[in-house]
């Protein structure tokens, strides 16, 4: 087992072993909408409690981020996002000032990628930034299938006063080709109670605050 762990075939943790899942491509928005919807809603509700009226907020792309956006519509905010769907949704609320980072559009996620968006994100200093992901773990941190996505995600949290990862338990232990950031870069990691007990042990006592939410 030690050799298999070193080769990356399995991951060992307190209480057992698990096969490592490699995610070679970005799932589409439609595919993501079908995955863990109750967990995403619960994560979003807790994440929304971290946002205060008047905050400048950066939102990553994805279905969990859309659930978060739905929980923020009662607040006066300045929101910067890479996600086209989130930008159009929040633009309907007059008390929310919405900025989309611009640049090339990734067709799988309908979100912005590329240097144009990265440049804008480097120029802002938000109160709080939320990152989503398709794969995460203690050893690999947050990973993503493309270099463009990795670079943009790094800038999403770069200048934020508070950095928050929103990631449901189904994505834990998977990894993709490009590393984004280690988990220690975050102030908060919000996931759900379906995270395996061995993973909960691995994550507790680290530099970030771990929150486990209960889906309805």
Q: What is the count of structural domains for the chain?
A: 1
Query: At 214, is the pLDDT very low, low, confident or very high (cuts 50, 70, 90)?
Result: very high
Contact 90, 79 (CB under 8 A): yes
Three-state secondary-structure class, residue 41: helix
Listed range (12-16, 158-162, 182-186) with the worst mean pLDDT: 12-16
pTM, whole model, 2 decimals?
Answer: 0.86
Query: At 10, is the pLDDT very low, low, confident or very high (cuts 50, 70, 90)?
Result: very low
pLDDT surpassing 90 at residue 91: yes
Does residue 146 lie within any of the structural domains? Answer: yes
pLDDT tens per residue, range 50-86: 999 999 999 999 999 999 999 999 999 999 999 999 9
Work out the end-to-end distance of the chain between its first and last CA atoms, rounded to an integer number of angstroms.
37
Q: For position 28, what pLDDT does the model report?
A: 56
Burial degree of 7 (CB within 10 A; 0-12, 13-18, 19+):
exposed
> Residue 80's closest CA among 90, 71, 70, 94?
90
Does residue 3 lie within any of the structural domains? Answer: no
Query: At 17, is the pLDDT very low, low, confident or very high (cuts 50, 70, 90)?
Result: very low
Provide the residue range defining the domain that includes 148: 24-213
Query: At 21, is the pLDDT very low, low, confident or very high (cuts 50, 70, 90)?
Result: low
Q: Report the alpha-carbon distance of residue 56 to residue 63 in Å, rounded.
A: 20
Whole-number mean pLDDT of the chain? Answer: 89
Does residue 126 lie within any of the structural domains? Answer: yes
Domain CATH number, residue 104: 3.40.50.1360
Does residue 45 lie within any of the structural domains? Answer: yes
Does residue 14 lie within any of the structural domains? Answer: no
Q: For position 7, what pLDDT does the model report?
A: 37
Does residue 1 lie within any of the structural domains? Answer: no
> Residue 98's closest CA among 85, 88, 106?
88
Contact 131, 166 (CB under 8 A): yes
Does residue 197 lie within any of the structural domains? Answer: yes
Does residue 182 lie within any of the structural domains? Answer: yes
pLDDT tens per residue, range 165-192: 999 999 999 999 999 999 999 999 999 9
Q: Report the alpha-carbon distance of residue 210 to residue 200 in Å, rounded.
A: 9
Rg (CA), the chain: 17
Backbone angles phi, psi at 170, to 5 degrees: -65, -20
pLDDT tens per residue, range 97-109: 999 999 999 988 8
């Amino acid at each position: 087992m030690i050799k298999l762990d070193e080769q990356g075939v399995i991951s060992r943790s307190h209480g057992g072993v698990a096969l490592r899942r490699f995610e070679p491509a970005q799932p589409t928005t439609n595919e993501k909408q079908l995955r863990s919807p109750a967990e995403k809603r619960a994560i979003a509700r807790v994440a929304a409690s971290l946002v205060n009226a008047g905050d400048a907020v950066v939102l990553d792309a994805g279905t969990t981020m859309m659930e978060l956006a739905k929980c923020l519509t009662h607040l006066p905010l300045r929101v910067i996002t890479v996600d086209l769907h989130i930008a159009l949704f929040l633009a309907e609320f007059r008390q929310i000032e919405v900025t989309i980072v611009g640049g090339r559009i990734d067709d799988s996620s309908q979100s912005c990628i590329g240097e144009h968006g990265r440049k804008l994100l480097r120029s802002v200093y938000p109160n709080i930034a939320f990152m989503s992901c398709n794969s995460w773990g203690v050893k690999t941190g947050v990973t993503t299938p493309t270099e463009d996505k990795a670079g943009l995600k790094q800038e999403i949290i770069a200048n934020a006063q508070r950095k928050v990862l929103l990631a449901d338990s189904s994505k834990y232990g998977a990894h993709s080709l490009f590393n984004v950031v280690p988990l220690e870069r975050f102030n908060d990691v919000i996931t759900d109670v379906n995270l395996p007990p061995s993973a909960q042990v691995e994550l507790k006592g680290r530099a970030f605050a771990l929150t486990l939410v209960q889906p309805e």
